[in-house]
Structure 1
């Protein structure tokens, strides 16, 4: 079993248990899973190529293909938890996990499911994947420092972040503990470059996800894509100003966990949901040199949080999470 599948199974089981959902149920056809994965079974693929081209083997392990394909994780999760509703994988580079959450929410909204597991997974620590990222010359020689003045690139991370999305009436009927409400989502495409982000595309996603979802002018917190590269962080700051007229409080977790690629947007979403649940920001930002970015104290209550994910190909996703305690919901 490839590492990306292992991560997915562990995260899915933890999310399912945390939600208090039963292991078996009569309405399994109303429960599904959408995962976002950028690269699939990288370690298995590397091993297979080594066996063929270096070792000269003519036959591979019969489970090679199911472990390599990006849909393998969602399939395994469905088997493990008995989910017989919608099940598929979205592969859109670093926006994969966020796209998966947005699509899972839409499946619930259109009546296809009552409960959906959604998120992302990635396991890129394989030689071929690492060499590919090195070739782009975006990796830091030291450590990732998102938005810091002395930032010099990103570092890779791996793992899985999965959440349970549930129809509000279904959750209320079983007395579920609600961490947050997914109040808005938006997906845009820059249509300009395969690797360079575009301010207008990122700003459009943030603005569309947030507009008319709250009586406040800006979100209380933005969980930024924040890769730690010079270009990405500067343009994301500019996009936040363009979307909201000023810089909201923001934070990127990539300095702690690295860039989890297909799981990155889902990880940001988990942080956003927990931030509004606990009502506070997760951590301090590194200094940006911009006074406007440093004017929000961390103890300011967080009732809304926007999670960003921006990917190669100009793919942008923003998801808005709001506190379930707000009366204006």
Structure 2
């Protein structure tokens, strides 16, 4: 099977509008969560989120494009531009014919849904813009990336709630490893921080009104974020031949279903997925130095994930570092795994472990090294990125230091 490496990365999220800015914020343990700026915010019970600040769509797109691009698509296109520019690739001929796009999103054009429900139900309008459907469809971002860069290979969108990005990146990994494609553009995006999007999540009663504090005793829920992360996955020999700068190697992936409960996480399901990802990567549990946790900040998720890690890694769990960057950028739902993969790349490439900020008091049920509040310098060769979604759909990636 082919080896798969990462040769480009791009992002926009509440911590920064680029990979450089985002990783700097992670190193500093900076919090991107703040008061929401959205219509009818006074009617919301939850008024905080990891919102992308200082963003003006008209700076990046013309009026015709804005009419076609929901905010989640805009974030994707900006991230894809950064990733492809960093990779140094241009797409024509056979490379264009075989390169595709696999992206994750849970909700797609939620901002567009929200605006048009208002127009029809609140304002009484009987017409909406003719591009509403192509603007809100979940595959819009993937399609626009393919059109922007002449990518004619396998292109589609994965929607598995909070595991969407990891599932998408895992599919891209499989396509390259199998020889189907030499290059894939992959990652995910989400933008649900509008009135309807926040109201829907309020109904679940899993949201914090003050902060996201994963693994900390007294934590009181998750905090939504928004943004995108996009990567260029490339076959190793293809990248090596052209002298590409390799950021990290993707070495393993696994996905499972709990087949148990629509919202409650399963320790057994999480453990099976982590163990299968390590088996796929052909690495021992002892080789792993860092885990980027799903770490939502809910009581149920955090203790279940810690128990799963303890089951898989045994005594080595005491030597592992595990952190949740959701404490900084919020839970970006379908885009979250892609943004979190940046922390994994930083760990193996730069030797910097992103912290779990907001940590106040140890929880006996989360008795692992959660890298509390401050980033840490440490050399790690293998890292794991967890994603465990509503619906019991799990997806775990393993990365290795580039060699």
Shorter-normalised TM range: over 0.9
Paired residue for 2:20? none
Paired residue for 2:116? 48
User: Is residue 2:362 matched to residue 1:288?
Assistant: yes
How many residues align structurally?
325
What do you get for the CA RMSD once the two structures are aligned? Answer: 1.8
SS at match of 1:324: coil
1:28-86 alpha-carbon deviations (Å, 9 max, x no partner): 11211100000010111111111112222222101100111100000011111111111
Distance across 2 between alignment mates of 1:300 and 1:127: 41
Distance across 1 between alignment mates of 2:70 and 2:137: 10
Distance across 1 between alignment mates of 2:116 and 2:378: 51
User: CA contact under 8 A between 1:195 and 1:313: conserved in structure 2?
Assistant: yes
Distance across 2 between alignment mates of 1:25 and 1:180: 27
SS at match of 1:154: coil
TM-score, length basis structure 1: 0.94
CA-CA distance at 1:272 after TM superposition:
1.0
Within the candidate set 331, 356, 377, 1:299 is matched to 377
1:118-172 alpha-carbon deviations (Å, 9 max, x no partner): 1010000122111110000111011101111121111100000111100111101
Distance across 2 between alignment mates of 1:57 and 1:299: 57
Cα distance change on mapping 1:170 and 1:66 into 2, 3 Å:
same
Distance across 1 between alignment mates of 2:284 and 2:195: 49
User: CA contact under 8 A between 2:100 and 2:151: conserved in structure 1?
Assistant: yes
CA-CA distance at 1:218 after TM superposition:
4.9
Distance across 1 between alignment mates of 2:380 and 2:396: 17
Distance across 2 between alignment mates of 1:241 and 1:265: 22
Summarize the alignment of residues 99-110 of structure 1 with structure 2, pairs less than 5 Å apart.
99-110=167-178
SS at match of 2:362: coil
User: CA contact under 8 A between 1:276 and 1:304: conserved in structure 2?
Assistant: yes
User: CA contact under 8 A between 1:19 and 1:176: conserved in structure 2?
Assistant: yes
CA-CA distance at 1:25 after TM superposition:
5.7
Distance across 2 between alignment mates of 1:284 and 1:137: 23
Summarize the alignment of residues 119-268 of structure 1 with structure 2, pairs less than 5 Å apart.
119-211=187-279, 213-215=282-284, 217-246=286-315, 247=317, 248-268=320-340
Distance across 1 between alignment mates of 2:202 and 2:161: 17
User: CA contact under 8 A between 1:194 and 1:314: conserved in structure 2?
Assistant: yes
Distance across 2 between alignment mates of 1:130 and 1:259: 12
SS at match of 2:104: strand
SS at match of 2:152: coil
User: CA contact under 8 A between 1:279 and 1:303: conserved in structure 2?
Assistant: no
Summarize the alignment of residues 56-135 of structure 1 with structure 2, pairs less than 5 Å apart.
56-135=124-203
Distance across 2 between alignment mates of 1:284 and 1:53: 42
Cα distance change on mapping 1:58 and 1:270 into 2, 3 Å:
same
Cα distance change on mapping 1:15 and 1:149 into 2, 3 Å:
same
Distance across 1 between alignment mates of 2:106 and 2:184: 20
Paired residue for 1:313? 391
Distance across 2 between alignment mates of 1:168 and 1:140: 43
CA-CA distance at 1:196 after TM superposition:
0.1
CA-CA distance at 1:109 after TM superposition:
2.0
Distance across 1 between alignment mates of 2:298 and 2:230: 26
CA-CA distance at 1:317 after TM superposition:
0.8
Cα distance change on mapping 1:14 and 1:203 into 2, 3 Å:
same
User: CA contact under 8 A between 1:86 and 1:112: conserved in structure 2?
Assistant: no
Gaps of 5+ in 1: none
Distance across 2 between alignment mates of 1:313 and 1:214: 28
